[in-house]
Amino acid sequence: MRLIVTGTQGQVVSALIERGPAHGVDIVAIGRPDLDLADPASVEAALARIEGDAIINAAAYTAVDKAESEEDLATRINGAGAGAVAKVAAERGLPLLHISTDYVFDGALDRPYLESDATGPVGAYGRSKLAGEQAVAAACPDAAIFRTAWVYSPFGGNFVKTMLRLGETREELSVVADQRGAPTSALDIADALIAAAKKRLAEPDNEALAGLFHLTGGGEATWAEFAQEIFADAERFGRKPVKVKPIATKDYPTPARRPANSRLSHEKLARIYGISLPDWRLSTRACVARLLQPQN
């Protein structure tokens, strides 16, 4: 199986490139400058040159705070750009797996969000990703859209790497403790997307495989609990303890508002695809170990 993936350096695309061989899958990653989601013509031209069995749209504008002052660009990339990928998938009859976000919700519900719950993004990034979900569904109705959240990995910039960097010089860190979600390893996302693509190809007439699915790590946490776990894991590699001081979102102002409740129900993904991600603590431990263990 050969998967065409948008983006080249991102967390999820890097994880797909790494995990592909273990699943017997070729990953062909294509990104800027050849494929620029801000330029639909480049998307069509770049994808036309590549043979593959399915497309994963893993590229996106992901700068949540910056999007508040660049909403037009974010929407062009995450909205129309995603739609352009979907148009190619539909024209070529290729299964499309598109990635979206928990930020399409306002976070006001007091339970994990279902795929059927009403959306209501509270920031520009969430609005741009919701525009993408709508553009993808319109251009390619049998696309599968996977909403994930709180992504970390050994690649790129993310919360785990930031905590490990700050923990080198700080004895205490203040971390937000009133947003709940599920830390999600990009490597686990990659394994899940590859399994999902295989199922799509094996069951081309199974209409239940299309539509919205929630794909996040097992369990739940606040950012403060996530940080505590990272520092506890790091101590096993000789790092000194770092105290986490829980604070409220209002005491850590950011340009973009974020949903207080980012928890997404995994029930539909497990029922339809038979896929569940490992508990976030296990995958966090593996990520920290990989980042801190001495290189051989």
Ligand X SMILES: NC(=O)c1ccc[n+]([C@@H]2O[C@H](COP(=O)([O-])OP(=O)(O)OC[C@H]3O[C@@H](n4cnc5c(N)ncnc54)[C@H](OP(=O)(O)O)[C@@H]3O)[C@@H](O)[C@H]2O)c1
Catalytic residue list? 125
226-240 per-residue burial string, b: 16 or more CB within 10 A, e: under 16: bbbbbbbbbeeeebe
* One residue of 3, 4, 11, 212 binding ligand X per CB under 6 A: 11
The Cα–Cα gap between 290 and 296 comes to 12
Tokens of 143: 């696309």
Closest CB to ligand X among 69 and 206?
69
Tell me if 134 contacts ligand X by CB under 6 A: no
Residue 192 found at the interface with ligand X (CB under 6 A): no
Among positions 28, 38, 195, 232, the unique one binding ligand X when judged by CB under 6 A: 38
The residue among 104 and 177 lying less far from ligand X, judged by its C-beta, is: 104
CA distance linking residue 225 with residue 223, whole number of Å: 5
119 near ligand X, judged by CB under 6 A: no
223 binds ligand X (CB under 6 A): no
Q: Which residues of 70-85 are buried (b: 16+ CB within 10 A; e: fewer)?
A: bbebbbbbbbbbbbbb
- The two structure tokens encoding residue 134: 């709508």
Token pair 């037009």 is found at 72
Is residue 84 within the footprint of ligand X (CB under 6 A)? Answer: no
Judged by beta carbon, residue 147 or residue 200, the one nearer ligand X is: 147
DSSP string, 236-285: TTTPPP-EEEEE-GGGS--SS---SB--B--HHHHHHH---PPBHHHHHH
In angstroms, the CA 273 to CA 257 distance is: 32
| Segment interacting with ligand X (CB under 6 A) among 115-123, 147-155, 232-240, 263-271 | 147-155
Tell me how far apart the alpha carbons of residues 113 and 117 are, in angstroms, rounded to a whole number: 6
Based on the shown chain and the rule CB under 6 A, indicate whether residue 62 belongs to the binding site for ligand X. yes
Whole-number minimum distance, CB 103 to ligand X, in Å? 7
Q: Does 175 bind ligand X (CB under 6 A)?
A: no
Binding segment toward ligand X, per CB under 6 A, in 146-154, 227-235, 266-274, 278-286: 146-154
Closest separation in Å from C-beta 294 to ligand X? 26
Out of 54, 113, 139, 150, name the contact with ligand X by CB under 6 A.
150
Burial class, 296, CB count within 10 angstroms (exposed 0-12 / middle 13-18 / buried 19+): exposed
**Does position 292 bind ligand X by CB under 6 A?**
no
Locate tokens 């480049």: which residue?
Answer: 42
Q: Do 15 and 8 meet the contact criterion of CB atoms below 8 Å apart?
A: no
Q: Which of 5, 25, 27, 31 binds ligand X (CB under 6 A)?
A: 31
Instruction: Pick the stretch among 150-158, 171-179, 219-227, 281-289 that binds ligand X (CB under 6 A).
Output: 150-158
- Which residues are at the interface with ligand X (CB under 6 A)? 7-13, 31-32, 35-38, 58-62, 77, 99, 101, 129, 148-151, 156
